C-alpha cells in the first residue's frame, strides 16, 4: 500500500495515499481497533457534520472575511455538499469506541473537508484546524451534530413511518365496522368487543406516540455550536452562535436555534434522553400491537385464528406448509433492542463531568440505531403484514358465542353470584350458558333469549 506523510501537533503519521483523512484520523484508526468496520460512526452524524461545517464556514465568511475568504468558503461548501450526498462515507472510518467527546470524528470531518477542498482547488489552501474548524471546538460541534442527526432521523424517517401505519390502521378500522368478537383480558375470555374497536386501540396508541415524538423533538432544535471548548464561546466571534444556528436551519429546513445556555448544551444530554423515551414509548406500543396480531393470527387450526395475515415465506425447514408471523417477530425484536438502547442512552447522559459529557458517541450511536430500526421495522411491518390483515368472521363468531364471559349480560337479571354459577356449570358440563341458566332455574328459555344478545354488548 502506498502512503503519504501527514503531520499534526504530535508529529508525523503515515496515512494511506488514497485516503482524504489526515494525521489525527489515522491515529484514531491505529489506537482504537474496537468494532472496526461494524460499529463505525453513524452515517447520520457524518451528514450532520457536513451541514454544520458548511454553516460554520458561511458564517465565518460573513464575520471573519479576512480569514474565511470567498475562495476558502467555496471549496469548503463544495466538499461539504459531497459529504452530505454520501460521496465520501468511506473516508469516515472511525469507530464509536473512541474519545468520549467525539473529538476524533470532528477532526475526521475537518481533515476530509480540508483535503477534498484542496483537491478541488488544486493547491494546499485549507487547514483542517485553522479553516474548517474555525470558531468551533469538538466539544460544541459533536453535540450539535447529535441534535441535527436526531431531528432529521425522527422527523424524516420515524414519524412518517408511524403516520403511514396509523393511516393503515384507520382504514382497517373503517373496513371492519360491525364485526363483533370476543374481547380478552389476562389472556382469558372477556366481554365482547367489535374488531374495529380493537383496531382503534392500536391506531390511537400510534397516534399518541406520534404526538409524543413531536413533543420530544422541540428541545433538540437547540444547538450547542458557539459554545466552543467549555461553553464560554472562546475564539468564536460575537453573534456566531445565533447566525450559525440560522444557517443550519436554512440548510436543513428545520427550526434550529442556538442553545440559550451553552454550559448546559455541552454537558447535558437530557434532550436526547427525553426524545429516546418517546421512541421507547413507541417501541412498547409496537411490541403490544405486534403481539396482539400474532396471537389473533395463531393457528391456523389450534390457535385463536381470528385474523388472516399475509403469508410471506415458508416458516419451517422441517414442517411443510408452516407459515409464521415473521413481521411481528421482527418488530418485537426491534422493540427489545430499543428498550436496551434506552438504558445505554440514559447511562451515557448521566456521565457529564463538569463542563463536558464524555459518553457522546455511544449515546448518539444507540439513539440513532433506535430511531432507524424503529422506522424501518414499522415500514416493513405495515407493508408486509398490517395492510393485508383480514378478519376471519366465522372464527370470530364461533369464539364469541362459545365464550362463557357472555354471562356478564345476565348480571342485571340474576345477579353476579348466580351468573358465576351459570358460567361454572356451563363449563363443567360442557353445555351452553342458556342450558345452564335454565337448568339452574334462574331464567326461563324465553326470558334468556330476550336478554341475552351478545352483539348488543359492545
The residues assigned a catalytic role are 186, 316
pTM: 0.95
CATH for 452: 1.10.40.30
Of residues 54, 308, 47, 78, the one with CA closest to residue 157: 47
Structural domain includes residue 232: no
Q: How many CB atoms lie within 10 A of CB 449?
A: 11
CA atoms of 43 and 148, how far apart (whole Å) = 12
pLDDT at 1: 81
Residue-range definition of the domain harbouring residue 153: 147-178+193-219+261-394
Structural domain includes residue 255: no
Same domain for 155 and 286, yes or no, is: yes
CA atoms of 50 and 76, how far apart (whole Å) = 9
Q: Is 106 exposed, middle or buried (0-12, 13-18, 19+ CB in 10 A)?
A: buried
Residue 203 neighbours by CB under 8 Å, 6+ apart: 166, 169, 170, 173
Same domain for 47 and 173, yes or no, is: no
Same domain for 324 and 445, yes or no, is: no
Same domain for 123 and 173, yes or no, is: no
Q: Is 124 exposed, middle or buried (0-12, 13-18, 19+ CB in 10 A)?
A: exposed
Indicate the range of 20-34, 242-256, 369-383 predicted with least confidence. Answer: 20-34
CA atoms of 11 and 21, how far apart (whole Å) = 16
Same domain for 31 and 103, yes or no, is: yes
Q: What is the DSSP letter of 412?
A: H
Opening angle at CA 449, ends 447 and 452, nearest 5 = 100
End position of a domain, from candidates 373, 394, 415: 394
As a whole-number percent, the residues of the chain with pLDDT over 70 amount to 100
Grid cell locating 34: 474496537
As a whole-number percent, the residues of the chain with pLDDT over 90 amount to 97
- How far is C-alpha 448 from the chain's CA centre? 52
Burial pattern 321-349, b for ≥16 Cβ within 10 A else e, equals eebebbbbebbbebbebbeebbebbbebb
Question: In this predicted model, what pLDDT tens digit does every residue of 100-126 receive, in sequence order?
Answer: 999 999 999 999 999 999 999 999 999
CATH for 317: 1.20.200.10
The total number of structural domains in the chain stands at: 3
Grid cell locating 332: 418485537
Same domain for 199 and 59, yes or no, is: no
Question: In this predicted model, what pLDDT tens digit does every residue of 144-193 receive, in sequence order?
Answer: 999 999 999 999 999 999 999 999 999 999 999 999 999 999 999 999 99
Amino acid at each position: 500500500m502506498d502512503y503519504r506523510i501527514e503531520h499534526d501537533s504530535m508529529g508525523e503519521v503515515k496515512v494511506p495515499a488514497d485516503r482524504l483523512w489526515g494525521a489525527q484520523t489515522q491515529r484514531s484508526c491505529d489506537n482504537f481497533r474496537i468494532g472496526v468496520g461494524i460499529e463505525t460512526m453513524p452515517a447520520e452524524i457524518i451528514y450532520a457534520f457536513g451541514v454544520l461545517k458548511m454553516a460554520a464556514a458561511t458564517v465565518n465568511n460573513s464575520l471573519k472575511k479576512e480569514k474565511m475568504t470567498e475562495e476558502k468558503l467555496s471549496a469548503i461548501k463544495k466538499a461539504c455538499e459531497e459529504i452530505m450526498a454520501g460521496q465520501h462515507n468511506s473516508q469516515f472510518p472511525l469507530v464509536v469506541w473512541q474519545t468520549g467527546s467525539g473529538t476524533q470524528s470532528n477532526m475526521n470531518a475537518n481533515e476530509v473537508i480540508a483535503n477534498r477542498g484542496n483537491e478541488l482547488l488544486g493547491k494546499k489552501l485549507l487547514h483542517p484546524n485553522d479553516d474548517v474548524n474555525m470558531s468551533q471546538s469538538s466539544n460544541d460541534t459533536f453535540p450539535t451534530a447529535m441534535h441535527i442527526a436526531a431531528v432529521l432521523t425522527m422527523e424524516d424517517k420515524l414519524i412518517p413511518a408511524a403516520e403511514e401505519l396509523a393511516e393503515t390502521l384507520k382504514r382497517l378500522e373503517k373496513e371492519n365496522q360491525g364485526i363483533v368478537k370476543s374481547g380478552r383480558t389476562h389472556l382469558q375470555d372477556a366481554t365482547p368487543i367489535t374488531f374495529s374497536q380493537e383496531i382503534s386501540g392500536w391506531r390511537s396508541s400510534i397516534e399518541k406516540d406520534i404526538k409524543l415524538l413531536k413533543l420530544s423533538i422541540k428541545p433538540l432544535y437547540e444547538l450547542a455550536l458557539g459554545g466552543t471548548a467549555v461553553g464560554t464561546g472562546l475564539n468564536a466571534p460575537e453573534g456566531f452562535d445565533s447566525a450559525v444556528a440560522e444557517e443550519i436551519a436554512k440548510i436543513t429546513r428545520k427550526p434550529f436555534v442556538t442553545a440559550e445556555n451553552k454550559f448546559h448544551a455541552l454537558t447535558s444530554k437530557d434532550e436526547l434522553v427525553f426524545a429516546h423515551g418517546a421512541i421507547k414509548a413507541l417501541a412498547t406500543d409496537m411490541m403490544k400491537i405486534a403481539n396482539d396480531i400474532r396471537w389473533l393470527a395463531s393457528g391456523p387450526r389450534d390457535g385463536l385464528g381470528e385474523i388472516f395475515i399475509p403469508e410471506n415465506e415458508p416458516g419451517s425447514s422441517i414442517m411443510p406448509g408452516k407459515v409464521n408471523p415473521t413481521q411481528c417477530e421482527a418488530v418485537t425484536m426491534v422493540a427489545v433492542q430499543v428498550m436496551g438502547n434506552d438504558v445505554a442512552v440514559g447511562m451515557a447522559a448521566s456521565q457529564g463531568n463538569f463542563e463536558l459529557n464524555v459518553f457522546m458517541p455511544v449515546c448518539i450511536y444507540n439513539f440513532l440505531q433506535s430511531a432507524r430500526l424503529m422506522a424501518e421495522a414499522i415500514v416493513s411491518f405495515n407493508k408486509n403484514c398490517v395492510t393485508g390483515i383480514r378478519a376471519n368472521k366465522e372464527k370470530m363468531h364461533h369464539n364469541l358465542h362459545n365464550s362463557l364471559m357472555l354471562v356478564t349480560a345476565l348480571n342485571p337479571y340474576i345477579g353476579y353470584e348466580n351468573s358465576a354459577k351459570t358460567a361454572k356449570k356451563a363449563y363443567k358440563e360442557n353445555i351452553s350458558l342458556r342450558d345452564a341458566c335454565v337448568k339452574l332455574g334462574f331464567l326461563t328459555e324465553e326470558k334468556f333469549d330476550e336478554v341475552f344478545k351478545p352483539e348488543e354488548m359492545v
